[in-house]
């Protein structure tokens, strides 16, 4: 019995004639995500992928649970395609397990196999009854063995674990995601990755007027998200001088919204350079004064790219629960000097008027956006926590180092 994992497609199983595109993307993503697991044996059947590797099967299983686009992950074995091999595997997989009743669930994907599904299940079941003394219960058994008869082999497993679900990352295009050190934005990014959107990340730091803490937090978030999207790129924009320029131009109570508009413009220019088609933010309607409908509209109108806001209808408590599951909450809760509160001592307006914002923006340097994009530093945080070093660091206008 050779260990492997069986992966079942999620929503992409429904994609009809486009399915080959989805599976091609998925297979590419798997190779990237598991590049360090040695030579992979990836095989595809209708609606199912199997992966085997001579290296660590536990690591293979762990990584399989991180593949976006897979709904079910089964730790499995490949068997020789024979009745005897199925009988032996059925007995072995149930030996010494706690439970008194069992069911064999057989499926014949290759109709040339001489036994029909129910015949195969009956023969394996009879051997289990005889050799292990267990009782058949097809309705609510304590234990189950799944046998799938394929072209070249039989796949056998006892357990179905939940995968990430969603669509393969990259299939829905690319976006630039605005990632702060806060709780919401990493959750928003994960949700969009799960919809198949490849993401580059941009963080605006108040440097040189704030410390580097928020950068470390954004870096840590990208590292967490790299479990799902390896080699994720983080662009760090030193934003402090631009914020001061806004304050000197008399932004007053418009400071926060004007900053958000600048962020959208810089992120959009970055997106164009990276051939991305949308922006992602962690906005939630009404959460803070910058997120009233009027202010969201004022921020969005700063550029033409669509702004995706997957958390728009979420309560804070729901987002916190998701951040906990994702594993970003602890880092988000660390103290930092948020750039948004720099130069904005007064309470923000709840209904920013576009004309007032435009008047303010006419007082800014003409090449402000270009300058900020050029000043961005790119890093690719390493995936693993131990010995994590960034892989590359270069200005955005130069080709990425890796």
Positions that interact with ligand ATP (CB under 6 A): 178-180, 182-185, 203-204, 263, 281-283, 287-288, 339-340
Kindly give the residue spans of alpha helices, DSSP state H, lying in 139-273.
Answer: 184-194, 213-225, 240-248, 255-273
The nearest distance, CB 327 to Mg ion, in angstroms, is 18
Residue in the shown chain whose Cβ atom is closest to ligand ATP: 182
Give strand pairing partners of 280.
177, 308
Nearer to ligand ATP, 49 or 183 (CB): 183
The DSSP 8-state label assigned to residue 286 in this structure reads T
Nearer to Mg ion, 184 or 200 (CB): 184
Report how far residue 68's alpha carbon sits from residue 77's, in angstroms, rounded to the nearest whole number.
23
The nearest distance, CB 283 to ligand ATP, in angstroms, is 5
Nearer to ligand ATP, 220 or 340 (CB): 340
Instruction: Say which entry of ligand ATP, Mg ion, none residue 179 contacts (CB below 5 to 8 A, set by partner kind).
Output: ligand ATP
The nearest distance, CB 376 to ligand ATP, in angstroms, is 12
**Which three-class secondary structure state does DSSP give residue 224?**
helix
Angle at 213 between CA 348 and CA 309, to 5 degrees: 50
Nearer to ligand ATP, 157 or 204 (CB): 204
DSSP annotation string for 304-367: SS-EE-TTTT--HHHHHHHHHHHT-HHHHTS----GGGTT--SPPPSS--HHHHHHHHTTS-TT
Instruction: Say which entry of Mg ion, ligand ATP, none residue 339 contacts (CB below 5 to 8 A, set by partner kind).
Output: ligand ATP
Q: In the range 181-200, which residues lie near Mg ion by CB under 5 A? A: 184
The nearest distance, CB 361 to ligand ATP, in angstroms, is 18
Would you say 63 and 34 are in contact if contact means Cβ atoms under 8 Å apart?
A: yes
**Contacts within 8 Å (CB) and 24+ apart, 15-23:** 21/171, 22/69, 22/167, 22/168, 22/171, 23/49
Contact between 322 and Mg ion (CB under 5 A)?
A: no
Q: Among 71-79, 107-115, 179-187, 259-267, which window interacts with Mg ion (CB under 5 A)?
A: 179-187
The token pair that represents 263 in the structure block = 């962020």
Nearer to ligand ATP, 147 or 183 (CB): 183
Nearer to ligand ATP, 178 or 246 (CB): 178
Instruction: Say which entry of ligand ATP, Mg ion, none residue 178 contacts (CB below 5 to 8 A, set by partner kind).
Output: ligand ATP
The nearest distance, CB 299 to Mg ion, in angstroms, is 13
Backbone angles phi, psi at 94, to 5 degrees: -100, -5
Total residues at interface with Mg ion (CB under 5 A):
1
Nearer to Mg ion, 233 or 314 (CB): 314
**Which three-class secondary structure state does DSSP give residue 16?**
helix
Instruction: Say which entry of ligand ATP, Mg ion, none residue 183 contacts (CB below 5 to 8 A, set by partner kind).
Output: ligand ATP
The nearest distance, CB 152 to Mg ion, in angstroms, is 51
**Which three-class secondary structure state does DSSP give residue 58?**
helix
Nearer to ligand ATP, 148 or 269 (CB): 269
Nearer to ligand ATP, 147 or 331 (CB): 331
The nearest distance, CB 382 to ligand ATP, in angstroms, is 21
The nearest distance, CB 256 to ligand ATP, in angstroms, is 8
The token pair that represents 266 in the structure block = 């810089």
Residue in the shown chain whose Cβ atom is closest to Mg ion: 184
The nearest distance, CB 202 to ligand ATP, in angstroms, is 6
Report how far residue 63's alpha carbon sits from residue 86's, in angstroms, rounded to the nearest whole number.
27
Report how far residue 2's alpha carbon sits from residue 41's, in angstroms, rounded to the nearest whole number.
12
DSSP annotation string for 27-50: HHHHHHHTGGG-S-EEEEETTEEE
Residues in contact with Mg ion by CB under 5 A are 184
């Amino acid at each position: 019995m050779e260990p492997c994992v069986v992966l079942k497609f999620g929503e992409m199983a429904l994609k009809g004639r486009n399915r080959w595109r989805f599976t091609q993307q998925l297979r590419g993503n798997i190779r990237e995500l598991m590049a360090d697991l040695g030579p992979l044996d990836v095989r595809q059947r209708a609606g199912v992928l199997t992966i085997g590797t001579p290296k660590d099967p536990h690591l293979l299983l762990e990584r399989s649970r991180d593949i976006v686009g897979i709904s079910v992950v089964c730790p499995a074995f490949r068997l020789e395609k024979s009745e005897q091999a199925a009988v032996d595997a059925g007995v072995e997989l149930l030996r010494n397990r706690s439970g008194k009743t069992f069911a064999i669930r057989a499926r014949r994907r290759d109709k040339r196999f001489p036994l029909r599904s129910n015949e195969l299940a009956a023969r394996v079941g009879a051997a289990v009854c005889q050799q292990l003394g267990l009782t058949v219960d097809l309705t609510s058994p304590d234990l189950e063995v799944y046998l799938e008869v394929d072209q070249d082999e039989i796949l056998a497993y006892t357990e179905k674990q939940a995968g990430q679900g969603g669509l393969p990352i990259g299939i829905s295009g690319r976006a630039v995601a605005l990632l702060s050190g806060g709780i919401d934005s990493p959750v928003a990014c994960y949700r969009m990755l799960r919809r198949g959107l490849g993401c580059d990340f941009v963080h605006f730091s108040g440097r040189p007027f704030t410390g580097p803490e928020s950068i470390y937090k954004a870096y840590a978030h990208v590292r967490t998200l790299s479990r799902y999207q390896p080699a994720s790129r983080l662009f760090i924009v030193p934003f402090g001088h631009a914020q001061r320029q806004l304050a000197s131009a008399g932004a007053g109570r418009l400071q926060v919204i004007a900053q958000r508009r600048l962020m959208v413009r810089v992120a959009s220019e970055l997106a164009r350079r990276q051939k991305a088609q949308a922006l992602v933010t962690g906005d939630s309607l009404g959460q803070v004064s910058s997120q009233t409908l009027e202010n969201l509209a004022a921020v969005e109108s700063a550029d033409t790219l669509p702004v995706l806001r997957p958390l728009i209808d979420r309560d804070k408590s729901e987002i916190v629960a998701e951040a906990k599951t994702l594993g970003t909450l602890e880092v988000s809760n660390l103290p930092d000097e948020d750039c948004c509160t720099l130069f904005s001592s007064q309470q923000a307006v709840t209904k920013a008027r576009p004309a007032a914002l435009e008047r303010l923006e006419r007082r800014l340097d003409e090449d402000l956006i270009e300058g900020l994009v050029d000043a961005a530093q790119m890093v690719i945080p390493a995936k693993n926590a131990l010995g994590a070093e960034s892989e590359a660091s270069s200005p955005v206008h130069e080709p990425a180092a890796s």
